[in-house]
């Protein structure tokens, strides 16, 4: 073989490798192990001495909620919904409306949230000694940026006298 055929063969081989290597890398790197996604919530009581609502993990109202931690969540190419059941009890002597908000919407678009019982929780009126079973839910979009997500969840009651 003369030197011209060797050059054509070398250039052809290099061209084939330059096309095949990225395709193989994409195929195998796409299926690498999943990355953890941490999430956490701090439940704050802004109306501290006047708050007449209790937040509990159990129906017997013995374990107060002080923080909600969703832990490490595997990275997913599919949307994920996680929920925590929280029991809210009106511990006052007057009817109270429950309200909530959080800083999540201002910090990320990767996670959305909802807090409900049978309807959205905001403006739900609770009579004295009433126990409300609720569900705080987060919705994680498909393929979110990995990292730690923290936000502040604020819950309060407005009492009607």
Give the pLDDT confidence of 41-76 residue by residue, as tens digits. Answer: 555 455 444 557 889 999 999 999 888 888 888 778
pLDDT in tens, 73-97: 877 888 989 999 999 999 888 888 8
What whole-number distance in Å separates Cα of residue 65 and Cα of residue 73? Answer: 21
8-state DSSP, 45: -
Q: Residue 27: pLDDT band by 50, 70, 90 thresholds?
A: very low
Given a contact cutoff of 8 angstroms between Cβ atoms, the answer to whether 137 and 115 are in contact is yes
- Three-state DSSP class for residue 25: helix
Distances (CA, A) of 49 to 45, 65, 112, 157: 9, 17, 31, 12
- Please state the pTM of the whole predicted model: 0.67
Quote the CA–CA distance of 1 and 8 in Å, as a whole number.
11
Average pLDDT over residues 120-147: 88
């Amino acid at each position: 073989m003369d030197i011209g055929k060797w050059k054509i063969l070398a250039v052809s081989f290099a061209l084939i490798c330059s096309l095949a290597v990225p395709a193989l890398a994409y195929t195998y790197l796409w299926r690498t192990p999943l990355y953890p996604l941490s999430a956490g919530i701090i439940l704050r009581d802004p109306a501290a001495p006047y708050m007449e609502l209790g937040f509990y993990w159990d129906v017997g109202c013995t374990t107060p909620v002080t923080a909600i931690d969703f832990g490490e969540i595997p990275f997913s190419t599919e949307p994920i919904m996680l929920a925590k059941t929280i029991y809210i009890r009106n511990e006052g002597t007057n009817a109270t409306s429950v309200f909530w908000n959080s800083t999540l919407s201002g910090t990320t678009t990767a996670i959305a949230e909802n807090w409900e019982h049978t309807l959205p929780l905001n403006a739900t009126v609770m009579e004295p000694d009433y126990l409300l079973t609720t569900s705080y839910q987060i919705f994680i979009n498909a393929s979110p940026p990995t990292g730690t997500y923290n936000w502040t969840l604020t819950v309060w009651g407005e009492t009607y006298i």
